[in-house]
Amino acid sequence: MCGDLDEVTALVEAAGLRVTTAQRVDGWYRAPSVDAAVTTEVESTPLVERMSEATYRQLRREANDLLARFTDAEGRLEAPFECLAIAATRVG
């Protein structure tokens, strides 16, 4: 969950942008495994350069524990998610 739609919209507008569309989007996050999902989420951002190996291992352990109920017998992950989609343009 990425926050409250009204709050995030207000933050975007406070930054000087005009919101043209704001909506909550429900979907499914699918990955071959929880470890694959963690790898994608961490290593596709600068976060990987700021994280120690010990922290990365801990994140994997905790993610596996947290998402275990969304994995099937083969270890594939399919978890529901909600996010906010906001489109905005510059004012002026």
What are the pLDDT digits (tens) for 20-69? 999 999 999 999 999 999 999 999 999 889 999 999 999 999 999 999 99
pTM above 0.85, yes or no: no
CATH topology assigned to domain 5-90 = Rossmann fold (3.40.50)
Is pLDDT of 1 > 70? no
CB-CB contact of 61 with 68 (8 Å): no
CA distance 30 to 41: 12
Q: Based on C-alpha coordinates, what's the Rg of the chain? A: 17
Token pair of 58, please? 């801990």
Give the model's pLDDT for residue 89: 97
CA distance 28 to 42: 19
